[in-house]
Amino acid sequence: MTKEEILIEMDECLDCASISGFKEQLDHLLEISSDEETSLILAQYLMTKYTAFKADSLASYMEAAIRKRPNLAMLKHPENPLFKLAVIRGSKDLYDCYMEEAVEPFLANVNKDEHMDHFFELLTLTEKLNEMIFNNYEPRLKGLHYSGAFPGEQPHLVRINKEDYETMEDVIEQYNAMIGRREILRDLNRRIENLD
């Protein structure tokens, strides 16, 4: 199978919520790609499928991938694609999955002195990504980027253009990502404080 065929099959697995099918496709991906490539492909794939509404279910797919091949989550630390995915999307669900399935088992097998360094490296990357993302946010203004709603047939209902709805959905996703990144930063700081 080609990478494109595997990704199409992964889409079908997501549509029918088949984790076992997803694992099977991950096996195929691992056969044709290195761990490093697979980690990047998986992160890019989950990035395109991510919404705050789907965060919990996508975390279960990330969990399945990390359990199948733990190295996928530890490559290029702290610049691991799966960790960066969680931070960029501001997903506390993906972050919690990453911490529980990758970081905690890894730290259980290393010297306690390395714990602080590990968390501090993750915190530094998170702060850097957060600042970079914030610098790219632009204001969304009613009348310029979207229009208001139109009265509907019933007085308590309104109509909105599809493009305007999509703009508002994008703003909501960005807002949720900001809140999620704030929670990720808080958790990393808490973990570091608890090591002192």
Predicted confidence band at 104 (pLDDT cuts at 50, 70, 90)?
Answer: very high
pLDDT of residue 196: 76
pLDDT of residue 61: 97
Q: pLDDT at residue 1 above 90?
A: no
Could you report the per-residue pLDDT of 35-94, keeping only the tens digit for each? Answer: 999 999 999 999 999 999 999 999 999 999 999 999 999 999 999 999 999 999 999 999
Distance CA 46, CA 51 (A): 10
| 90 contacts 145 by C-beta, under 8 angstroms | no
Please state, rounded to an integer, the average pLDDT across all residues of the chain: 95
| 100 contacts 58 by C-beta, under 8 angstroms | no
Predicted confidence band at 177 (pLDDT cuts at 50, 70, 90)?
Answer: very high
Mean pLDDT of 144-149: 87
3-state SS assignment for residue 101: helix
pLDDT of residue 81: 98
Strands (E), 34-192: 150-151, 158-159
**47-85 as b/e, with b when 16 or more CB fall inside 10 Å?**
eeebebeebeebbebbbbbbeebeebbbbeebebbbbbb
Distance CA 122, CA 107 (A): 13
Q: pLDDT at residue 156 above 90?
A: no
pTM of the predicted model as reported, rounded to 2 decimal places: 0.92
Distance CA 46, CA 58 (A): 7
Domain boundaries, the chain: 33-195
Predicted confidence band at 12 (pLDDT cuts at 50, 70, 90)?
Answer: very high
**107-130 as b/e, with b when 16 or more CB fall inside 10 Å?**
beeeeeeebeebbeebbebbeebb
Q: pLDDT at residue 153 above 90?
A: no
